[in-house]
A = this chain, B = another copy of it.
């Protein structure tokens, strides 16, 4: 079944303490974003891949493609000011009569396993949506009015991507107005009144955000 994959890479590199946006940093000698795209290309048969980048990074990305002889077909889409608007732009580039599954993935999660991708897409095809989640290994506290309270960590899940949705459902959810509360696609879809299904993520599927995440990813890369 045809699947659209929207890979969102909006980073400007500030948090990484680097001039290079994190999606272009090298992991095992190759830009992170290329690893991410390869994961989907390997896990799925002929996925349609949309890569959302800030427009002023298009030229740099095209140079990288030449430099690394990167040959996985994908379409570039201009990013918005917030992740919400980036995904919304990408949805405009998917045929309006497409009724299959759309997977939205963070460009800086190159260590997603094929199993996580397949599990999320399969469940979304069966139930309308699915997102990968993992258990917490640390204790967790909630901060309230200047103090913090212990919470039962078994009640919480850390959320990853790809977040997979029936195309019609996702389009409808993205008709909502933007809200600060939206940090991922599931929060947008839940706000539209839909219950979200969880699948098991893989612990290696970290989001490369902090400088130490590059070192962690290098170590985990050998695992996959």
Which A residues have a C-beta under 8 Å from some C-beta of B?
A: 133, 136-144, 147-153, 155-160, 181, 183-184, 186-187, 190, 195-196, 198, 203-204, 206-207, 209-210, 212, 215-216, 218-220, 222-223
Contacts and interface: CB of A to CB of B under 8 A. Distances in A.
A138 B160 contact: yes
A136 B219 CA distance: 21
A153 B156 CA distance: 11
A152 B137 contact: no
B183 A148 contact: no
Contacts of A187: 139, 150
A178 to B, nearest CB: 15
B160 A142 contact: no
Chain A at the B interface: mostly helix, strand, loop or mixed? mixed
Contact of A210 (B137, B212, B215): B137
Contacts of A149: 190
Contacts of A136: 158
9 contacts: A133-B148, A138-B207, A139-B158, A139-B187, A140-B157, A143-B198, A148-B196, A212-B220, A215-B223
B150 A181 contact: yes
A139 B155 contact: no
Contacts of A184: 139, 150
B138 A159 contact: yes
Q: Which of A139, A212, A220 counts the most B-chain CB atoms under 10 A from its CB?
A: A139
